[in-house]
Chains A and B, each alone.
Chain A
Amino acid sequence: MTLARRRFDALIIGAGGAGLNAALQLANANLRVAVVSKVFPTRSHTVAAQGGVNAALANVFEDNWHWHMFDTVKGSDYLGDQDAIEFMCREAIPTVYELEHNGVPFSRLDNGKIYQRAFGGQSQNFGGAQAARTCAAADRTGHAILHTLYQQNIRARTHFFDEYFGVELIRDEDGAILGALTLEIETGEPLLIEAKTTLLATGGGGQVFRTTSNAHINTGDGMAMALRAGVPLMDMEFFQFHPTGIAGRGMLITEGVRGEGGYLINKDGERFMERYAPTAKDLASRDVVSRAIVTEVKEGRGCGPNADHVLLKVDHLGEDIIAKRLPGIRESSKIFAGVDPAVEPIPVFPTAHYMMGGIPTDRLGQVVIPAADGSEQIVPGLYAAGECACVSVHGANRLGGNSLLDILVFGRAAGQQIINNLKDNPEHRPMSEAAIDQAVARLTRWEQSGEGISVRELRDEFRKVMEDHAGVFRTDEIMAEGVEKVKALREKLKDVRLGDQSKVFNTARIEALELENLIDIGMAIVLSALERKESRGAHSRPDYTERDDVNWLKHSVYFKEGDRLDYKPVQTKPLTVETFPPKPRVY
């Protein structure tokens, strides 16, 4: 089979905030950069981020990056690497200014500076009064940022491959990554892209769960590609359930609603967060609020005819604030919940939202394979940034406003490191036919026709299993059963057949490839979760209710080969400041 080929200095897979911010650095440095995206870039899921991006600009209250760092370390339940967190919180400030210079239409304060709102888990002075650190463009910050980055990439003449699907990484015998096999969705033709460096920026995989705030496209493609290339995934048991999804549907209602003064009530009209987090109340960390909501419902204090959700009260903020600061959620509430939040409270329940774990990288975006002794081996030619990566800055629980920050800071850092790296590695390495054939096999597998299970059927079954066995509260029994079920589904995958063998814009073929990816990362989640015998951040176990810093202050590392788990120590030493030692986490 003769494959069409293209050659670039850098290949970026994924056109969300991380991919586009990296691409912008590279294109501005006059390098040949190809951005491959399975959807038109502005359809990437960054577009759905609402609340904002954290940076200690101190536009509203006194603030500094060190306080931001403390909040992030505490929010991570001390599992985040403190060197990476320091780097991110310092870089936050110039990163946000750069975005503004690029044209992001941030909301403004009366003095003309960027508007900043309060968000969960934020404090001044290391755990003191509530901070206001989240820079916002109304409640459409992700949209504003993604469109701006795409626009600047148009200016910089980045080369886009829109609606191309990343199929498989190509590597040589030394484990170096040489580019990727892609599939042009419109024609159904494969295209081999050779690149001196490859950046995975494919986002998260919330589609592993049935009820999720994540888009249809969030299928963990990059993470699964990394797994199949021998790269492990780190901390996959830590999956964030956002407290306020629209009940029964999963669409997100931003934490910014609570930041602006909204609060949660149960069926008795009680503001129940006062019992769970006396100081921060509704602005406690997301894991804390999600557990509180699930507990309220379990103990019979839920609202509605089935007592299966709680209510988010907003109307007391008044028409003006709602129209000005929360126009998007008002629209969503009307459409999907049938309520106008200016009049009635919004029915909410936790929804699968964000993967703290992912492809292990250093703080320059270079993919590393961690060893138990704390050393790291760089995978030559491979980078990762954004939700698909795990630096790790979020540890066991991410703070609201830190995900846009993560993708922007580390997308930019990866772009800059790639520029440096290309100076030392100016040549393409040769690709062997065997390596290419192996990647192509992933496509030809789906050319088998005949009777079999449908992609839909297995996908529906899998997402239900994940929801039932890897949700907010996890016991040994539930998870062990989950592991067996996911293993069985992985076997069943072999019997799935594609009925539609046509070439042009075959979305069934794409969904088949996505299903393989989902199951690969689903396995990483359930296995990592089963083994972690403690409660930390988003990983909450009724059978091991306490955090166990003696045995479990370490990152989980999952390898696909042999479904093997390994562990590596947390980096507790920051770059320039003192370590924040683990403390009980109270809000």
Chain B
Amino acid sequence: MKFFVYRYNPDVDTAPHMQEYDVEVTRGMMLRDALMEIKRQDEAFAFRHSCGEGVCGSDAVNVNGANLLGCTTPVSELKEPVNVRPLPGRPVIRDLVVDMSQFYQQYRAVKPYLIHKDALPEQEILQSPEDRDKLDGLYECIMCGCCSTACPSFWWNPDKFHGPQALLQAWRFLADSRDQATEERLDALEGPYKLFRCHTIMNCVESCPKSLNPTKAIGKIKELMLRHSI
């Protein structure tokens, strides 16, 4: 199978280029396996990966124009030749490795942790199964970055717009019956950029390897804001 892989090593290259590789496909081969095979052929090729089962979120890449996880994408589903590029819109450090610091900063900015103000009980804080169900589809995010780096609004304003990943997490805490910081969370999302730069383009939903729906979460935040303002 033919792969064209984005290569750029700032130590030696003046400009990036696409390099061709031939990989012998084996049964059940995932894109990550193919990339590891390419690294066997070419030690200098760099990409991030770890768990190999779609839960650590290390190996998000852009393939034939779509963001996806290498380890859960069978190569049999890819159209030849396979063009593998780094996630779009982020500064490239080397080959497929991009600088995700702005993405992480946006995550930090939404205070992605439970804030419970009442005195804590000796045992667990109770939560009904129905309330717990509200966290499904939110807490499973693996922070791979497929969604935010597929979002045109995040491409234009990565410093001001939180992006779909961070906003999904903002809703994960707003939706948690144990969290007691609704007002301050909503106040912090005010303004034209942080939340409201979402134009429901829905690239995030399309690209999420865990089938999560940030657009829906953003809609829920807006709805809650509206209810709180009247």
User: Interface of A with B (CB < 8 Å)?
Assistant: 39-40, 42-45, 47-48, 57, 96-97, 100-103, 105-114, 137, 140, 143-144, 147-148, 151-152, 154-155, 186, 215-217, 248-249, 251-252, 328, 331-332, 335-336, 338, 454-456, 498-500, 502-508
A sample of 19 inter-chain contacts (CB < 8 A) reads: A43-B51, A48-B56, A100-B124, A103-B113, A108-B131, A111-B126, A112-B126, A113-B123, A143-B140, A151-B112, A215-B51, A216-B49, A248-B28, A252-B53, A456-B39, A504-B10, A504-B11, A504-B93, A505-B94
Q: Are A103 and B9 in contact (CB under 8 A)?
A: no
Chain B interface (Cβ < 8 Å from any Cβ of A): 9-12, 28, 39-40, 43-44, 46-58, 72, 74, 93-95, 97, 100, 104, 108, 111-114, 116, 120, 122-129, 131-132, 135, 139-143, 173, 176, 178
CA distance A147 to B141 in the complex (A): 9
Known contacts: A47-B55, A105-B132. The answer to whether A217 contacts B43 by CB under 8 A is no
Q: Assuming A101-B125, A103-B178, A105-B176, is B53 touching A48 (CB within 8 A)? A: yes
Interface centre among B51, B125, B129, B135 (most CB of A within 10 A): B51
The answer, among A113, A186, A338, for a CB contact under 8 Å with B124, is A113
Min CB–CB distance B27 → chain A (angstroms) = 9
Give CA–CA (A57, B108) in the complex, Å: 33
A303 CB, nearest partner CB in chain B, Å: 17
> Judging by beta carbons under 8 Å apart, are B139 and A105 in contact?
yes
Do B124 and A143 touch (CB < 8 A)?
A: no
- Provide the bound-state CA to CA distance between A155 and B112, in Å: 8
Q: Are A108 and B140 in contact (CB under 8 A)?
A: no
CB neighbours (8 Å) of A151 from chain B are 112-114
Residues in B with CB closer than 8 Å to A252 are 53
Closest to B9 in A: A502
> Known contacts being A97-B123, A100-B125, is A105 close to B135, with CB within 8 Å?
yes
Q: Is the CB of B113 within 8 A of A154?
A: yes
Q: Complex: how many Å from CA A500 to CA B46?
A: 11
* Residue contact B132 to A42, C-beta cutoff 8 Å: no
Q: How far is the CA of A107 from the CA of B142 in the complex (A)?
A: 18
Q: Please tell me if the beta carbons of A499 and B44 are within 8 angstroms of each other in the complex.
A: yes
Are B44 and A500 in contact, with the CB atoms below 8 A? Answer: yes
Closest to A498 in B: B43
What is the CA–CA distance of A500 and B43 in the complex, to the nearest angstrom? 7
Q: When chains A and B are docked, how far (Å) is the Cα of A248 from the Cα of B40? A: 21
Q: Within the complex, which residue of A103, A109, A216, A335 is in contact with B176, where a contact is CB–CB below 8 Å?
A: A103
A108 touches B132 (CB 8 A): yes
Contact with B139, one of A147, A332, A500 (Cβ below 8 angstroms): A147
Main secondary structure of the interface of B (DSSP, over half): loop
In the assembly, what is the distance between CA of A39 and CA of B44, in Å?
Answer: 19
Bound CA span A456–B72, Å = 23
CB neighbours of A137 from chain B (8 A): 139
Provide the residues of chain B in CB contact with A43, threshold 8 Å. Answer: 50-51, 56-58
**Set of chain A residues within 8 Å of B95, measured between Cβ atoms:** 505
Query: Which of chain A's residues has its CB closest to B73's CB?
Result: A335
> Chain A residues near B142 (CB, 8 Å)?
42, 47, 143
The answer for the CA separation of A443 and B5 in the assembled complex, in Å, is 29
CB pair B56–A108 under 8 Å, yes or no, is: no
CA gap between A147 and B52 in the complex, in Å: 18
- A143-B55 in contact given A101-B116, A456-B43, A504-B93 (Cβ < 8 Å): yes
Candidate in B47, B53, B132 with the most chain A CB atoms within 10 angstroms:
B53
Contact A45 B51 (CB under 8 A): yes
Closest 5 CB pairs of A and B: A103-B114, A112-B126, A502-B11, A151-B113, A500-B44
Contact B97–A505 (Cβ < 8 Å): yes
Contacts of B74 in A (CB 8 A): 335
Task: Point out the residues of chain B lying under 8 angstroms from A107, CB to CB.
Answer: 129, 132
**Complex alpha-carbon distance, A404 and B43, angstroms:** 35
Residue from A100, A144, A155, A217 in contact with B50 in the complex, judged by beta carbons closer than 8 Å: A217
Are B114 and A186 interface neighbours, CB within 8 A? Answer: no
Contacts of A40 in B (CB 8 A): 58, 100, 104, 143
List B contacts of A499 (CB < 8 A).
43-44
Complex CA gap A568/B217 in Å reads: 56
Given the complex of chains A and B, what is the CA–CA distance between A110 and B132 in angstroms? 11
Q: Which of B72, B123, B126, B135 is the most central at the interface, judged by chain A CB atoms within 10 Å of its CB?
A: B123
A248 to B47, CA, bound (A): 25
The reply to whether A155 and B111 contact each other, CB–CB distance below 8 Å, is yes
* B51 and A47 within 8 A (CB): yes
- A252 and B53 CA atoms in complex are apart in Å by 9
- Could you tell me the distance between the alpha carbons of A186 and B95 in the complex, rounded to whole angstroms? 12
A286, chain B: closest CB distance, angstroms? 19
The one of A57, A112, A335 in contact with B128, judged by C-beta atoms closer than 8 angstroms, is A112
What is the minimal beta-carbon distance from B122 to any residue of chain A, in angstroms? 8
Q: Which residue of B lies closest to A213 (CB)?
A: B53
Q: Is the CB of B132 within 8 A of A48?
A: no
Please name all residues of chain B whose beta carbon is closer than 8 Å to the beta carbon of A504 when the two chains form the complex. Answer: 9-11, 93-94
* Candidate in A48, A454, A499 with the most chain B CB atoms within 10 angstroms: A48
Contact A215 B11 (CB under 8 A): no
When distances are taken between beta carbons in the complex, the residues of chain B under 8 Å from A217 are 50
Interfacial chain A residues near B122, Cβ < 8 Å: 97
Given contacts A498-B43, A500-B43, A502-B11, 13 further A-B contacts (CB under 8 A): A42-B56, A45-B50, A57-B124, A100-B124, A101-B124, A108-B127, A112-B127, A140-B55, A148-B113, A216-B52, A499-B43, A505-B95, A508-B43
- Find chain B residues with CB under 8 A from A48 CB: 51, 53, 55-56
Q: Are A140 and B140 in contact (CB under 8 A)?
A: yes
In the complex, what distance in Å separates the CA atom of A52 from the CA atom of B140? 15
